[in-house]
A = this chain, B = another copy of it.
Amino acid sequence: MLFFENDYSEGAHELVLEHLARTTREKLPPYGADKYSESAREKIRSACDCPDAEIFFLAGGTQCNQVVIDALLAPYEGAIAAKTGHIALHEAGAIEFTGHKVLELAQENGKLCAATIRTYLQDFYNDTSHEHMVKPGLVYLSHPTEYGTLYSAQELAEISTVCKDYDLKLYLDGARLGYALACQDSDMTLPILAKYCDAFYIGGTKVGALCGEAVVFPQKAPKHFLTRIKQHGALFAKGRVVGVQFDALFTDGLYEKLGRHAMEKAEKLKAALREKKYRFFLDSPTNQIFIVMDNERLKEIGKQVRYSFWEKFDKNNTVIRFATSWATGEDDLQALIALL
């Protein structure tokens, strides 16, 4: 069976595991105060060109979204997101669990645009009953989006301007950030993210780590953020668990290499699909590839490949997703291409 279902089917990259093994008997202070976590932070600060960034390591993406959004918002504020955003749809209400409404806006290919947000905010403040409504306090973006699409630096700058105009925080979910940064057609970089966002996270779980994400506050973390992490049940006693992994990922460009690896496989797969005249559901520049496939054909293929069901396209066709990852092997890729 071939696996192109998602980008979190494997464990961790060997260099990550080796760093964990090499350091395992060292006695280190708990709760993220260890030297490897600090080393990882220093490397990330440097990669972000942001020497004062405050950085915390959490276990997973939904946890990052929940803890960070809850900490950035006042209790009466909500988070603006695309209707298709992960926090709006696929986190079992983790944001609402902390008391905050997700304010869902229209999207295009998974992306919010500055004009949509601005119109929403204008309408909100023009509404004379807005004191009886949920005050928008933050914009949530995912990059890549749930559809594999990307924001340009210019688009992010525009959204940032709207946020500043209306005193909103800007937060970016980088679960698959490694694949975005490795995308040739994208001009987005870590320093640009650090320039425009109040917070973002660099995804490890989907890019070579066993688990863990690095939350970056380019300016300043919310007050008593460690206590808030604990209050959410999200503080690792052994902070090293994630710190050591990110220390490995940000050594010798491993994180970038893993991103490029997935992108190379994805480019090959897209080229093959194009050649074979498959219909693309949308034009995703990253490692998630959405195609429209005949149901009969799909049934056949499903016997040999695991893919992700996305949605019904019409009576006879289905939208499916293939994902490559940092671990996708060339043999598997060629086998998939041969099969299609």
B-binding residues in A (CB < 8 A) = 3, 6, 8-14, 17, 20-21, 23-30, 59-63, 65-67, 70, 74-76, 78, 89-94, 96-102, 104, 128-129, 131-135, 205-206, 210-211, 223-224, 226-228, 230-238, 240-241, 244, 309, 327
Contacts and interface: CB of A to CB of B under 8 A. Distances in A.
Interface of A is mostly: loop
A224 B327 CA distance: 32
B20 A233 contact: no
Contacts of A89: 133
A65 to B, nearest CB: 7
A89 B232 CA distance: 15
A232 B135 CA distance: 15
Most chain B C-beta atoms within 10 Å of own C-beta, residue among A14, A65, A97:
A97
A70 B60 contact: no
A201 to B, nearest CB: 13
Nearest to A12: B24
A24 B14 contact: yes
Contact of A210 (B20, B100, B227, B309): B20
Contacts of A29: 9
Contacts of A10: 24-28
A15 to B, nearest CB: 11
Nearest to A309: B128
A10 B97 CA distance: 34
A58 B99 CA distance: 22
Contacts of A94: 230-233
Contact of A76 (B11, B60, B129, B224): B224
Q: Which 3 A-B pairs have CB atoms at the shortest separation, nearest pair first?
A: A11-B24, A63-B233, A92-B230
Given A91-B230, A232-B94, A17 B14 contact: no
Nearest to A99: B97
Contacts of A133: 89-90, 92
Nearest to A223: B74
A211 to B, nearest CB: 5
Given A14-B21, A234-B63, A227 B8 contact: no
A60 B234 CA distance: 8
A105 to B, nearest CB: 12
Given A9-B28, A59-B59, A238-B205, A97 B14 contact: no
Nearest to A25: B10
Nearest to A29: B9
Contacts of A128: 309
Give the most central of A67, A74, A237: most B CB within 10 Å: A237
Nearest to A4: B27
A132 B27 contact: no
A237 B30 contact: no
Contact of A96 (B74, B101, B309): B101
27 contacts: A6-B30, A11-B23, A11-B24, A13-B24, A14-B21, A17-B21, A21-B21, A62-B230, A63-B233, A75-B231, A91-B231, A92-B227, A93-B101, A94-B233, A96-B96, A96-B101, A96-B134, A97-B231, A97-B233, A99-B99, A131-B226, A132-B230, A132-B235, A205-B237, A211-B237, A233-B233, A233-B234
